[in-house]
Chains A and B, each alone.
Chain A
Amino acid sequence: MDLKERVCDELQKEVPKGASSTNFNTQHQQKWEDPSSTLDYSTRIEPPFQAFNQTCQTQSLLLCNNQIKVPMQDGSINDLLQQASKIQDWDPSAMLNNLSFLEQKIHQLQDLVYLIIAQKGQVLGRPDELLVQQQQLVTADLTSIIIQLISTAGSLLSSVKQTLSAATTSLGQCGEFGGVVFPSSAQRLNDGVQPQNAGGSKVSEPPNSIDITSNNGNEQNNHIVEEHELKDEEDAEEGENLLPGTYEILQLEKEEILAPHTHFCTICGKGFKRDANLRMHMRGHGDEYKTPGALAKPTKESSSEPTIIKRYSCPYAGCKRNKDHKKFQPLKTILCVKNHYKRTHCDKSYICSRCNTKKFSVIADLKTHEKHCGKDKWLCSCGTTFSRKDKLFGHITLFQGHTPAIPSDEIKVAPAGTSDGATNKVGSVNFNLSSYVSSESEVQSSSMDIKGGIDDAVGYFSPLSFDTCNFGGFHEFPRPPFDDSESSFAFLLSRSCNYSQKSGE
């Protein structure tokens, strides 16, 4: 089943269920606890898109949100939020009020549970529906209590400068409840603080904030990925060996993969790649986004339930990373998907401005290359370049007859540039051949550009033709001493000679 459809279904299901305003549905409940596990990438992408379009068209985002999300409203929470708003100003009486409310709520809950226990004997004959409903009610109430507790703690946090012992204890409590819930509740808190924003905006927040939370969770993952395994997302999971079926395979569409932004401002519609940037941006939209709660990085919640492992499939048919491939190897994260797709199935549109030869499809690759481009080029006689000397020496050790080219060799560099163009046609035969020669696994390695391929061809073949072709060492050291024009000519000659000989083989 297509991921997107499935997710949409889920969302649709969610809406009518939530319509019974008295209770949260269980699924929703689950979201509170572990947003990242249930909400997946599609949901993350879709709503912002929607929001984006709407802002553009109607400029009535709040209303739209309202219409969509109103069913999710929970009256009791609304009350709580109003309570919380008072706490914001750190009023001991309000605090007491709040606590007493909590107490009251807990008692209510206790009563309810007693009731359920009492009913248990009577409901034998009846279907379990009521029981389920009651359970949901209980959990919903529990949730609200938790939220209340946390929002209290949040308010304490904002006014904690006096370092009241009470505040620290509630902070401690806050810690016990785990961080994921915290920002969303803080969001509510903010809503409460600004009653004039009122109604729609406020009530629209819960689902929205859930979204953001889940986004945050995911984004956080991605963020880490971006930092540590930006380059080799494909290698990163080679050793994983997940058994087929033990994980869930998700597949995004091309458009989703190539979308430039994944986080969108709900107010102005501006897109961002990172949630953190969005949060920074949100500060400009009002003081309510400046609270520590709103700015805090949502942390991942360690859920007690074992979550289903998610792996991703490339939408490109025939790709090894596509789930229909015989030797399918899944991609680990969304970012892996993005980088893989761009590197393997997209044009290399970023050209290094220094060497004008290396091309990249992922801008980070270009930046990495540019850091090293031009400086400390370790060049082999076969034309392959290395950024590190030990890599070059490893290469030379491996291949018979390869020698390092003398670095900072100005005389040589010039002819090499011209000759590559000139010999390209001659070498084209070899180039095709070379892609066969280079092992199949290398086909995917998009970082190797065409020039590298050609040079590799020389490299692969030169051992064969080395003895015959290497009269006077022109091939490996094409730099006769006398003058430049002669040397470049000689170089061309020897290179093309080399090529034709090989293509003749």
Chain B
Amino acid sequence: MLSFQSSKNVLSLTEDLLVRIYELLAAESDRKSFRLVCREFRRIDTLTRRHLRVIRIEFLPILLRKYPRLQSLDLSACPHIDDGVVSLLLTRVGPGSNSPILGHWAWGLKSLVLSRATGLRFSGLEMLARACPCLESVDVSYCCGFGDREAAALSSAVGLRELNMDKCLQLTDVGLAKIAVGCSKLEKLSLKWCMEMTDLGIDLLCKKCVDLKYLDVSYLKVTNESLHSIASLLKLEVLGLMACPLIDDVGLQFIERGCPSLKVIDVSRCEGVSSSGLIFVVRGHRNLLELNAGYCLSQELSTALLHQMKNLNHLEVIRIDGARISETSFQVISANCKSLVEIGLSKCLGVTNMGIMRLVSACINLRVLNLTCCHSITDAAISAIAYSCRSLVCLKVESCNMITEKGLCQLGSFCLLLEEIDLTDCCGVNDKGLEYLSRCSELSCLKLGLCTNISNKGLSYIGFNCLKIHELDLYRCTGIGDDGLEALSNGCKKLRKLNLSYCNEVSDRGLGYIGRLEELSDLEMRALHKITGVGLEAVAVGCKRLADLDMKHCEKVGDSGFWALAYYSKNLRQINLSYCGISDMALCMVMGNLSRLQEAKLVHLSNCTVEGVELALRACCVRIKKVKLFAPLRFMLSSEILEILHARGCIIRWD
């Protein structure tokens, strides 16, 4: 709070002090307020700003000019980034420009996020990679069309240290070889879902990039051969092998002898891995910090494995989802792994109150506990957890039906640091329970889906006390109505994500309260039969940041609402309009006017004609990345529009 007199003092602060203050502002909204104070503050902002996440491409040239010290540029939220745009940016705003201010924006750039930039191709990527000599980190994840040429383009960034290529579906060994040879300083590489990859590529990578610290080959069809190669990486700390179907215990034997720096390993969902494979890993790496072995221990934890786990004194995270576990195992774990911070026991068989009590008795540092689908635990276990683990931050007890307000009372009394709790499908939760829970004032994520016993009253406790909540899931909480939303909108101003699907009582008045949540970016409100265009308009007008809207089956919403949406929700990125009564005209307006829209689900639009859909697609074809359409339209839409969409890298799902 600055009074008029003290503002003079603030302005008299020297530049470097202002910079320090600025750097202490973590939240983006705070920084925004800061730079809106005055010109001087704005100048500080432009001088110090390192990171830029661009949402609308039209401002990109201006922004790049404005922030000369940019080190990190995130274009993932920016639609229609393509080769032409990149070329333009580099020639108009790049080193070729006459103005000294315009130049050099790419020169200092160290990090580039191009995730989901499906419009980009190798030529643009190559230009970028060459224009940014200091580039150290690139994220091209989920660019499904990326392949070897794009990899080759990236390989010209010789200083690259971090590279994320998740789901670059066309990438093969050849592309990886390009990167391995070109970017030999690589430290972090993620290759999830690069399905074409084989052992040859991984082998070459391990020979060329010996500095690798982080390697994720999850979901690849690589075999033990790859593990043999990976074992030679002396600096490797994190290894992701999730759901590699061809890896088995023999391969993990190589890991036992290699990778001396290994800290984190994930072998979850590897069909071939069993207890004996984990024994190899554990035996070879006493300093392991994190062990992810979910869904690969179908049998009970073997005593041999438990015996080996005794030595993991530094273990902080263990996830053994889906395993069969006995009470004695809990005792062994808790007695030896005293530094455990996170335990994942999701869908484990044999988790009992007694087991949990034994587990938590020694693990006092526990911060994250996942007990999803451990049906037999009751309030006794929750009480024990609350009593022992005072620093608990995250608790997931989805489908634990026996939890009642008593357990929540204990949590509200002792776990005051609790930030996230998942109570989905816990029928025992009622208004009283929420009242106890609301004492956890740090709560930021609350999931109450399918808790049919809560009402507006319970929600109002949350609204009054949990002011930091940014995610709330009220899926099928049929007891919730407009009054609850009123209380919520009064208190939880930071709410970013809200799920109101199937809360049948919610009407236009409730949506009016929702419209007060300025931070809201993600709203799911399927099948709200009472709402009309008025409610949607209120949301569109109020929630300026709305990026993701799912209003499937909101059949009563009329065109006025969609017109408002098209007019106000400029930041909308994803929309689901399936089963809505939207007309051709409104659809064209929505699809054409929302310049950030990237993904749309347009199934069963009863008031729309084929021509209307075609027109709407034409209106958005330059930026849309994913669209779901009614299957018969496949043969009704003109082949031209389908070709255009395909050429732009848009994925069409026919339903």
Closest to B179 in A: A403
Chain A residue numbers with a CB within 8 Å of B174 are 404, 406-407
Closest to A380 in B: B177
Q: Which A377-410 residues have a C-beta within 8 angstroms of B?
A: 389-390, 393, 396-397, 401-404, 406-407, 409
Contact A481 B200 (CB under 8 A): no
Q: A401-B181, A403-B182, A406-B148 are in contact. Are A393 and B204 (CB under 8 A)?
A: yes
The digit string for B110-122, where 1 denotes a CB below 8 A from any CB of A, is 0000000000011
A473 an interface residue at 8 Å Cβ cutoff? yes
B126 an interface residue at 8 Å Cβ cutoff? yes
Contact B123 A472 (CB under 8 A): no
B275 an interface residue at 8 Å Cβ cutoff? no
Chain A residue numbers with a CB within 8 Å of B152 are 403, 406, 477
Contact B127 A481 (CB under 8 A): yes
Interface residues of A (CB under 8 A from B): 389-390, 393, 396-397, 401-404, 406-407, 409, 472-473, 476-477, 480-482
Chain B residue numbers with a CB within 8 Å of A406 are 148-149, 152, 174-175, 178
How far is it, in angstroms, between the C-alpha of A325 and the C-alpha of B541 when the chains are bound? Answer: 95
How far is it, in angstroms, between the C-alpha of A11 and the C-alpha of B149 when the chains are bound? Answer: 70
CB distance from B377 to the nearest CB of A (A): 52
Q: A403-B181, A473-B155 are in contact. Are A481 and B204 (CB under 8 A)?
A: no
Closest to A401 in B: B181
How far is it, in angstroms, between the C-alpha of A186 and the C-alpha of B396 when the chains are bound? Answer: 92
Interface residues of B (CB under 8 A from A): 83, 121-124, 126-127, 130, 148-149, 152-153, 155-156, 173-175, 177-178, 181-182, 200-201, 203-204, 207-208
Give which listed residue, A403, A409, A482, contacts B123 with CB less than 8 A.
A482
Chain A residue numbers with a CB within 8 Å of B178 are 403-404, 406, 477
Contact A397 B130 (CB under 8 A): no
Closest 3 CB pairs of A and B: A481-B123, A473-B156, A403-B181
How far is it, in angstroms, between the C-alpha of A404 and the C-alpha of B151 when the chains are bound? Answer: 12
Closest to B123 in A: A481
Contact A403 B155 (CB under 8 A): yes
Q: A473-B130, A481-B83, A481-B123 are in contact. Are A396 and B156 (CB under 8 A)?
A: no
15 residue pairs bridging A and B, Cβ less than 8 Å apart: A389-B200, A390-B200, A393-B200, A393-B201, A393-B204, A397-B203, A403-B181, A404-B173, A406-B178, A407-B174, A472-B130, A473-B126, A473-B130, A476-B182, A481-B122
Contact B177 A404 (CB under 8 A): yes
Chain B residue numbers with a CB within 8 Å of A396 are 177, 181, 204
Q: A404-B178, A472-B130, A481-B122 are in contact. Are A389 and B155 (CB under 8 A)?
A: no
Closest to B152 in A: A477
How far is it, in angstroms, between the C-alpha of A403 and the C-alpha of B152 when the chains are bound? Answer: 9
Chain B residue numbers with a CB within 8 Å of A473 are 126, 130, 155-156, 182
CB distance from A391 to the nearest CB of B (A): 10
How far is it, in angstroms, between the C-alpha of A407 and the C-alpha of B175 when the chains are bound? Answer: 10
Contact A402 B156 (CB under 8 A): no
User: 16 extra interchain contacts, Cβ-Cβ under 8 A, other than A406-B175, A482-B123?
Assistant: A389-B200, A393-B177, A397-B207, A402-B181, A403-B152, A403-B181, A404-B177, A406-B148, A406-B174, A472-B156, A473-B155, A473-B156, A473-B182, A477-B152, A477-B155, A480-B123
Chain A residue numbers with a CB within 8 Å of B124 are 481
CB distance from B413 to the nearest CB of A (A): 61
How far is it, in angstroms, between the C-alpha of A401 and the C-alpha of B200 when the chains are bound? Answer: 17
How far is it, in angstroms, between the C-alpha of A403 and the C-alpha of B155 when the chains are bound? Answer: 10
Chain B residue numbers with a CB within 8 Å of A390 are 200
How far is it, in angstroms, between the C-alpha of A407 and the C-alpha of B152 when the chains are bound? Answer: 12
Q: A402-B181, A482-B123 are in contact. Are A393 and B173 (CB under 8 A)?
A: yes
Chain A residue numbers with a CB within 8 Å of B127 are 481
Chain A residue numbers with a CB within 8 Å of B182 are 403, 473, 476
CB distance from B174 to the nearest CB of A (A): 5
How far is it, in angstroms, between the C-alpha of A389 and the C-alpha of B204 when the chains are bound? Answer: 12
How far is it, in angstroms, between the C-alpha of A390 and the C-alpha of B198 when the chains are bound? Answer: 11
Which of B123, B152, B182, B204: most chain A Cβ within 10 A? B152
CB distance from A481 to the nearest CB of B (A): 3
Closest to B207 in A: A397
Closest to B122 in A: A481
CB distance from B219 to the nearest CB of A (A): 21
Chain B residue numbers with a CB within 8 Å of A402 are 181
Closest to B83 in A: A481
Chain B residue numbers with a CB within 8 Å of A389 are 173, 200
CB distance from A401 to the nearest CB of B (A): 7
Which of B83, B124, B130, B178: most chain A Cβ within 10 A? B178
How far is it, in angstroms, between the C-alpha of A404 and the C-alpha of B204 when the chains are bound? Answer: 11
Chain B residue numbers with a CB within 8 Å of A472 are 130, 156
Contact A477 B156 (CB under 8 A): yes
How far is it, in angstroms, between the C-alpha of A480 and the C-alpha of B208 when the chains are bound? Answer: 26
Which of B153, B155, B200, B201: most chain A Cβ within 10 A? B200
Chain B residue numbers with a CB within 8 Å of A477 are 152-153, 155-156, 178
Chain B residue numbers with a CB within 8 Å of A407 are 148, 174
How far is it, in angstroms, between the C-alpha of A480 and the C-alpha of B200 when the chains are bound? Answer: 28
Closest to B198 in A: A389
Contact A403 B126 (CB under 8 A): no
How far is it, in angstroms, between the C-alpha of A390 and the C-alpha of B174 when the chains are bound? Answer: 11
Chain B residue numbers with a CB within 8 Å of A409 are 149
How far is it, in angstroms, between the C-alpha of A397 and the C-alpha of B199 when the chains are bound? Answer: 14
CB distance from A155 to the nearest CB of B (A): 62
CB distance from A146 to the nearest CB of B (A): 60
Chain A residue numbers with a CB within 8 Å of B208 are 397
Chain B residue numbers with a CB within 8 Å of A482 are 123
CB distance from B319 to the nearest CB of A (A): 35
Chain A residue numbers with a CB within 8 Å of B153 are 477
How far is it, in angstroms, between the C-alpha of A250 and the C-alpha of B200 when the chains are bound? Answer: 47
Chain A residue numbers with a CB within 8 Å of B149 are 406, 409
Which of B127, B181, B208: most chain A Cβ within 10 A? B181
